[in-house]
Amino acid sequence: MHLVKHRAYEFGVRGVNPDAITFDLAAAVARKDAIVNGILSGIHDALRKNKNITFLTGHAEFTSPVDIRLDGRQITAEKTILAVGARPATVDIPGLADVGFITNYEALKLERLPASMIVIGGGYIGVEFAQMYARFGTKVMMLGRAPRIMSHEDEEISVALAEVLRAEGIDLYTSAPVLRAEFEGDEKVVVAQIGGEEQRFKAKEILFAGGRVSRVEGLSLEQAGVELSRDVIQVVDTLQTTMPNIWSIGDANGGAMFTHRATYDGPLSALNAVRGLKKKVDYRVVPRAVFSEPAVASVGLTEREAREARHEVKIGKHLFAHTGRAKAIGQTEGFVKIVADMKTDEILGAHILGAHADILIHEVVAAMYNHGTAEPIAKSIHIHPTLSEAVKSAAKAIGSAPMIRTGE
């Protein structure tokens, strides 16, 4: 939509009137639903066809460490693996429940495009949905409580992405905690505190993107002896809970709430539960991505985190604006940044803002897995012209980077 409406002319496309291009949200949602339902059907069919699996659906809750009630049916399980995931965080903004709001779940089911939308939250969910609806044609206002969006990411990444979002027309405010919500006529109003003063924002729809929390309600975990720690399921590095016959994986344990992290947990918990192998998780190299455009992808420590961990660090950086393939596809925003230890040359982290960052990050992920350095990336031959050359150039820059001492 964005490419055709705003940039096609740049690539030589003629005969298209950008003002005549419209967006059919219902059609896009229907396509999304078909893809998701196809994936789910494939998973469920595989479960049902496996003779070693009894696949049941319903509301499950513990009645003892070995007993589970499923919609009134009693099941006894010598061992249990919890894979209960997470849910949107509870809303604690006065008036918001009365005014009405949607979460990312409902935002993927809308069939009519809102004329305007307020996005509350500056994390990855807020960023992705704010940009998505802004590109669809909705007037978007985004309110983040923290001083910068994506506050857990590298500071340079956050600042650069905020500039991209504002350039696309999103009214983005940081250090803007929301105080309350109310009606004004037929419009919804969100009141935020900005610069010590109250400021009012009006829109037809409000999207609450205030993070996600462990989905532990209604499981009667206390009946099983499974304890929580800061509202997430308490596990050790073998994914065993406080009960020796119960394990837990994924989002419900807190930390990095990503599907690929849960996918990593699954086989380990199964091997530990079934074979008693006591395999331990290693989350040192868990990549993460934000599917904005340009995309954000990261792994390991940020520059600030590395310094706070008392590393003497050196930085290798390369701009996509200096990469041939990025110029050819017209996506020159962003950069690759690699953080390495000065003494050992070991890569401590990498951070990418740019086209296909979610794909490019894996070159560094593979290097970090065995505590590798940037040298193999810098010296290996990369196809030209590709975006991966930006990763190589950042790795090469590590070799000539000055040391940044702790505290500098």
Q: Are strands 73-76 and 67-70 parallel, antiparallel or unpaired?
A: antiparallel
- Do 259 and 246 touch, CB atoms closer than 8 A? no
Residue 91 lies in a domain: no
Range of the domain at 310: 288-404
Same domain, 335 and 364: yes
pLDDT number for residue 186: 85
Q: What is the pTM of this model?
A: 0.94
Residue 203 lies in a domain: yes
Average pLDDT, stretch 191-213? Answer: 96
Over residues 66-117, the pLDDT tens digits come to: 999 999 999 999 999 999 999 999 999 999 999 999 999 999 999 999 999 9
CATH number for the domain spanning 80: value is 3.50.50.60
Residue 135 lies in a domain: yes
- Do 187 and 204 touch, CB atoms closer than 8 A? yes
Q: How many domains would you assign to the chain?
A: 4
Same domain, 124 and 203: yes
Active site residue 356: no
Same domain, 276 and 321: no
pLDDT number for residue 19: 86
Same domain, 338 and 311: yes
Please choose, from the candidates 205, 209, 190, the residue with its C-alpha nearest in 3D space to the C-alpha of residue 129: 209
- Do 312 and 346 touch, CB atoms closer than 8 A? no
**Phi and psi angles of residue 303, each rounded to the nearest 5 degrees, phi first:** -60, -45
Q: Which of 283, 306, 326 is the last residue of a domain?
A: 283
Residue 224 lies in a domain: no
β-partners of residue 213 are 87
Per annotation, catalytic residue among 6, 44, 371, 384:
384
Same domain, 275 and 301: no
Q: Are strands 86-88 and 212-214 parallel, antiparallel or unpaired?
A: antiparallel
Same domain, 76 and 127: no
Same domain, 113 and 22: no
What is the rounded CA–CA span in Å between residue 145 and residue 154? Answer: 17
- Do 84 and 244 touch, CB atoms closer than 8 A? no
pLDDT band at 403 (very low <50, low <70, confident <90, very high): low
Same domain, 164 and 73: no
Over residues 2-13, the pLDDT tens digits come to: 889 889 999 999
Same domain, 313 and 388: yes
Residue 395 lies in a domain: yes
Residue 220 lies in a domain: no
| Strand positions, DSSP E, 280-393 | 288-290, 295-300, 313-319, 335-341, 347-354
Same domain, 60 and 47: no
pLDDT band at 278 (very low <50, low <70, confident <90, very high): very high
Residue 219 lies in a domain: no
